[in-house]
Amino acid sequence: MAETSGSSGTTQSEQTIENLLNKARASISKKEIKEAIGDILAAIDFCSCNKGNTKQLRHGKDKSCHLKQFVNGVRSKDLDAIYDVANSPCSCGFAWPSCSSPKHLEAIDLLTESLETEGHYVSAITTGLGIIRLRPISAAGYCRVAKTIRLILKLEKEGKKAKRVNPKVARTLATLEKDAGLTTARLYIFMKKLVQAGLNNTSEKYRNDAHDEYDQILMRMAHSLKLQNSLRDPAAKLPLELLRQIFSHLDTSDVIRSLRVSKKWNRIIKHDTLLWEEVRLAQPRNPGNRVFATWLRGHQGVKSLTIDEVSGFGFSAKRLYMLLFGLPNLQCLIIKTAAPHRCDTIQELDPAPSPSQKLGLAQLSLDGYQAPVSLLVQLLDLSKDTLEVLDLVQTGSKPERAIKAVRMPKLRSLWVDIDMAGTSTEEHVLRMPEIVASTPNLEAFCLNGFQLEWTPGQPTPQGWRQLKHASFGPAMGIEAHTQGTILLPRIFPPMTESMEKIEIMTMNPVIAHNYLFTVMDGAEARHPLHSQEMGLEFDEGKLPKLPNLELFRSRCAIDVGLLGRLLAVPAAREGSLRVLELAVEQRWAVRQRHLWCPVVGLESIVVPAEAFVWMESEKIEHLGLYFFNYAGFAFQYGQRFNGQPFLDWLDKFPALNSVSVYPDWPGEGVMPFIGKLILHPRVKKIFQDSLRTGYEWDEACLLAVQRSVDLYHCDFNVPYGPSLFKNW
């Protein structure tokens, strides 16, 4: 009569076995081992491999012949001997069953555990060897036998140390020596060789199914026993060039740990000069000057050094001097810290460099490290002939003084970001002519935290002919010392057609309009809207053409007509514009007439599809909008949000795949708007600041997953500066 299958696909016999094994486990937890063994044996009898079997189902009680076969197999130098023993009958003539049922294997495994728990160690070993007979390509049997032998040897060692004999262990050792000639020393060797055979028999040589947890346990056992198979080099067969390429993708801390893997790896890593050209230390401890000096002598080829957290490094004036002049090939130095209060303040290098000493730094980046003006001047002066990239982020007060004190003709990128916390705007005054004079060949700049200062008679800066990237941070302001009503001249060098990326993250319209639209007419500065009001002629041909512009972002609302003249042709329609983010409402101060700062009126709401019709482009891939709600008057908080005009605008851009929306709106209606963005057929990535936690965020994330859309929450002060240039 055929066995019936249950709803889960298991046969009736498998379900019976599972019930018996669960009952046995419950008995083991109650320490009722005898009852558990009875249930396990009954479960084994229910296995399909025993149905209709007229032969003897179990080996006799004396299993010494079974044990001797494995001992003889282990003594053989043939790695396949144990596999052959497992597939052959016992020397007494008993034919061991072979079964692929996982339940049968699970039952014998549980039986071995029960016998070991009860202290029947010899029976546990022979039963574990029975698992190997049942399925020699499974790691379970080898693990069980090795675990039992290790327990026996451990208890025997503890007994000797305590000078107290364990009766069960003593009987076990006597039986093993009598039946199989296994003394304590030979028992340890038997365990090692059995594990070695297990590694061979469970390899791809005999099996092609997935490995389980017992395979991992067997490998850990082999590693603790220091077997050759477990210590083999996984990269032994790889060419040296490929191995070096793999090492080159590791962090420096991982490379240092790899030195301890083997003599071969140590030799390869130490002699690979390219591998040590870029060193990155995550959180190095204080090595001491002597150890540090030894390290410097052994790594003369280092070209780039990054210390991600320098607070625990013991950074002193002497150590900085050792680092700078102890690495003759150093070209890039990046020092960071999130705990500046734990770092010693270095006023100047110790000892002071001689006039003939120079550094070959091409990049100097300080992030969070408080560097006084005197130290910055010293570092810049030592590197002024080679420095190309300078990043000073949260480095303390007045870094602008150090920049204007040293002329750096090769500097291409400048990023200066000041922490405004606890300081007044008067402490960080920046005069652009001085900065331009010190960095005449700049290609990219990012400024944040400064007050731009202009005084009557101040000349328009000249320079930066190759400028490509311009970024103004959210904390940029302007201070003008004027007398009466006067037009603010151009305070920045004129833009060139080489511009590729422009970011205006400040909401100060004076900076935005002065940088983008003020042009020079001979010695006079002209702004188109100011000229119109004063009845003066304005030559629109003087506005720069931007054919190479790829990214334009502005959190400041800009006059729509002027923006069209600047970006429509050739940047948007014929050029390479890919990323566009605009603000449609002004959230700054009212018009300041003496500075001529045209603003979008608060009573007007710009509908992008109508106002920015000139911006329609087949190349724009990312679109963003700040400060918008089309439900009514801009500042009536509490009313329902309406973003439908933005959704309509998206249809004008066939290449669109990502959007950023920052409505800065706490009212209702934002969640349906985000939902419509997720459902938009072109949108695959969304950056927004409205949803972050709670039920609506969870619902939006679930919908985004279903639509394969990446949904991100980004704070209102979105990233700006060089990092954004690289990411976009």
Give the model's pLDDT for residue 426: 60
- Minimum mean pLDDT among 384-388, 431-435, 609-613, 677-681: which range? 609-613
Local structure of residue 348 (DSSP, 8 states):
S
Q: Residues 502, 552: contact at Cβ < 8 Å?
A: yes
- Give residues with Cβ within 8 angstroms of 93, minimum separation 6: none
pLDDT tens, position by position, 72-120: 988 887 878 888 888 888 888 888 777 777 888 888 889 888 889 888 9
pLDDT tens, position by position, 533-568: 444 455 666 778 888 899 999 988 887 878 888 887
Confidence class of residue 379 from pLDDT cuts 50, 70 and 90? Answer: very high
- Give residues with Cβ within 8 angstroms of 553, minimum separation 6: 502, 503, 504, 505, 579, 580, 581, 624, 720
> Is the pLDDT reported for residue 234 higher than 90?
no
Rg (CA), the chain: 38
> Is the pLDDT reported for residue 464 higher than 80?
yes
Q: Residues 260, 266: contact at Cβ < 8 Å?
A: yes
Tell me the C-alpha to C-alpha distance, in Å, between residue 143 and each of 139, 185, 606.
6, 19, 73
| Average pLDDT for the chain | 81
- Minimum mean pLDDT among 228-242, 344-358, 435-449, 647-661: which range? 228-242
Give the model's pLDDT for residue 6: 46
**Residue for token digits 């969870």?**
698
Compute the average pLDDT of residues 201-225.
Answer: 81
Compute the average pLDDT of residues 18-46.
Answer: 87
Give the model's pLDDT for residue 383: 95
Q: Residue 162 and residue 157: Cα distance in Å, rounded?
A: 9
Question: Can you point out the beta strands (E) in 651-707?
Answer: 658-662, 685-688
Q: How far is CA 112 from the centre of its chain?
A: 45
- Given the DSSP bridges, would you call strands 304-307 and 710-713 parallel, antiparallel or unpaired? unpaired
Give the model's pLDDT for residue 604: 55
- Minimum mean pLDDT among 81-85, 314-318, 367-371, 487-491: which range? 487-491
The residue among 712 and 77 whose pLDDT is bigger is: 712
**Residue for token digits 């042009």?**
519
Preceding peptide of 287 cis, ω within 30°: no
- Tell me the backbone φ, ψ of residue 188, rounded to 5 degrees: -65, -40
Give the model's pLDDT for residue 553: 92
Q: Residues 397, 427: contact at Cβ < 8 Å?
A: yes
Tell me the C-alpha to C-alpha distance, in Å, between residue 603 and each of 288, 490, 599, 606.
66, 29, 11, 10
Compute the average pLDDT of residues 2-23.
Answer: 68
Q: Residues 55, 64: contact at Cβ < 8 Å?
A: no
Give the model's pLDDT for residue 532: 52
> Is the pLDDT reported for residue 140 higher than 70?
yes
- Give residues with Cβ within 8 angstroms of 118, minimum separation 6: 33, 34, 37
- Give residues with Cβ within 8 angstroms of 72, minimum separation 6: 85
Q: Residues 441, 412: contact at Cβ < 8 Å?
A: yes
Quote the percentage of the chain above a pLDDT of 70.
Answer: 83
Q: Residue 105 and residue 138: Cα distance in Å, rounded?
A: 9
pLDDT tens, position by position, 559-600: 787 888 888 777 777 778 899 998 876 544 333 333 344 443
Give the model's pLDDT for residue 725: 38
The type of residue at 183 is T
Tokens of 213: 């947890």
Q: Residue 439 and residue 411: Cα distance in Å, rounded?
A: 6
Nearest to 687 by CA among 666, 716, 667: 716
The residue among 702 and 627 whose pLDDT is bigger is: 702
> Is the pLDDT reported for residue 482 higher than 90?
no
Find which of 48-57, 234-243, 505-514, 519-528 is predicted with most confidence, using mean pLDDT: 505-514
**Could you tell me the end-to-end alpha-carbon distance of the chain, in angstroms, rounded to an integer?**
70
- Tell me the backbone φ, ψ of residue 431, rounded to 5 degrees: -105, 110
Q: Residue 306 and residue 312: Cα distance in Å, rounded?
A: 14
